[in-house]
Amino acid sequence: MAQKRKRTRRKKPAQRKVQPVEEILFLVEGKMSTFGGPRDTGMSADEGLALFTQADLQGPKYSYLFLPTPPPGTTGLGRRLNPDKYYFACRWNYNDTPKEFLKRALARVENPAKGRAAEARPVDWGPNISTGRVADLSPGLAAALGLQTDDVVRITISALRAIPVKPIKGAKRVARISRPAPPPAKPVIKQFIGSPNCSPRKPGTKIDKIVVHCTEGSLASTLAEFQKNDSRKVSAHYVIDRNGDIYQMVNQTDCANHCMGANNASIGIEHVGSETDSLAAPQAAASAALIRWLLQEHQIPRTNIFGHDFAPGYSRPGGTSCPDKLFGSVHSQATIVAWVAANV
C-alpha cells in the first residue's frame, strides 16, 4: 500500500537500487550459535570438519584457522580451530556450493540488528536442522559482530566477494539451504472479497513477478479501502492477516492496482502490519506458502520477488516506504532476498 502517502523517511539513494542478486551464490538469514576450539566440549575430542583435513594444517592459506598444536586430549580439527579466527558453518548443499569452492570462499557475515559485518571462512557443515538455527560461528566472529546465541545472522557468498574464485559453473544463483523444499500446494483462501479496482491484464501477458507490501493499517481498513470505488482505486490480489488468514480480492487473470508502473505482469500480496512491525510468525508462514505456490503456478523465477519500493518498473515519483521493515530490520531489496532464501 502506501501509494498516496508522502514519504516521511529520508532514504539514501543507494538503497533505491535493486541489489545485484544475480551475483549471490549463497544467502541465509536466521538464528546462530557458536562452535569450535579447545573449550567447545559440545564437539568430541576426535571430531573433524566437513571442509578440512589434517593435511590442510600445512596449507598456508588455511593454517591460520587452527591452533599450532592440538589441545591436550584432542585429535580432531574441530577442537583445534582457533576460536579467535573468523570461521563458520552452514548446512551446505554441495551441488550448489561444492566443498572445493567453499574451502576457498570468503563470506560476508552480518549482524543485521546492529549493522555490523565481517568476512569469514566456511569450515564445516552444520548446525543440525533440529536446532532451528542456520549457522554456527566462531566465538571470535560472534563477539566481533555483537551476536549472542539465537540472535539473527545473515551470511552471503557472492561471486564478487568469494575470493579468489569465480562463480562455479552451473551453480544456482541463490542457493537455498535452510530447509528442504516442500511440494507447493495452494494454500487455503479464507475468503474472496472482490475489489472493483482491477482490470484485465494486457493480452499475452505472462505473470513474471511477485510484489510484497505492508498495509500500514489494519485488516479491516485494508479490506474496506480495497473495496472502495474512489479516486485512489487501490487493491491487491491477496491480503494476509497477522494470524495467517489469506484473503483474495482480485483474480490472478486481472491486474490489481498495487504497484504503479509494475501492475501488469505482477501479483500483489499485502501483509497486515504497521510501519514498524515485523511479519508475525503465522503470517510469514502463510506468505511463504502462498509465494511457493505462485512461483510454481506461474513459473516465476525466485529472483523476481520484490518489495514494493524495489519492483522493476515501479514508477511513482518519490517512491514509497512500503514494505517497511516487515521482512527484516532494513527497508531494502536485499532484506527481501534474504527472507525469500530463508523462508520460501
How many residues touch Zn ion under the rule CB under 5 A: the total is: 4
- Residue 295 CA to residue 306 CA, distance in Å, equals 13
Out of 1, 102, 234, 300, point to the residue binding Zn ion (CB under 5 A). Answer: 1
- Sign (positive/negative) of CA torsion 315, 321, 323, 327? positive
- Sign (positive/negative) of CA torsion 289, 327, 305, 313? positive
Per CB under 5 A, the segment of 106-114, 199-207, 229-237, 300-308 that binds Zn ion is 300-308
Nearest distance, CB of residue 309 and Zn ion, angstroms: 8
- Residue 317 CA to residue 334 CA, distance in Å, equals 22
Which CB atom, from 136 or from 241, has the smaller least distance to Zn ion? 241
Out of 210, 250, 322, 334, point to the residue binding Zn ion (CB under 5 A). Answer: 322
Residue 193-232 contact track with Zn ion, rule CB under 5 A, x = bound: --------------------x-------------------
135 is a contact residue toward Zn ion (CB under 5 A): no
Residue 29-68 contact track with Zn ion, rule CB under 5 A, x = bound: ----------------------------------------
Nearest distance, CB of residue 115 and Zn ion, angstroms: 25
Which CB atom, from 213 or from 237, has the smaller least distance to Zn ion? 213
Out of 292, 308, 325, 331, point to the residue binding Zn ion (CB under 5 A). Answer: 308
Nearest distance, CB of residue 287 and Zn ion, angstroms: 14
- Residue 259 CA to residue 256 CA, distance in Å, equals 8
Nearest distance, CB of residue 52 and Zn ion, angstroms: 46
Per CB under 5 A, the segment of 63-71, 172-180, 294-302, 321-329 that binds Zn ion is 321-329
Nearest distance, CB of residue 236 and Zn ion, angstroms: 8
Which CB atom, from 292 or from 308, has the smaller least distance to Zn ion? 308
Which CB atom, from 160 or from 224, has the smaller least distance to Zn ion? 224
Nearest distance, CB of residue 227 and Zn ion, angstroms: 17
Which CB atom, from 121 or from 209, has the smaller least distance to Zn ion? 209
Per CB under 5 A, the segment of 22-30, 124-132, 294-302, 319-327 that binds Zn ion is 319-327
Interface with Zn ion by CB under 5 A: which residues? Answer: 1, 213, 308, 322
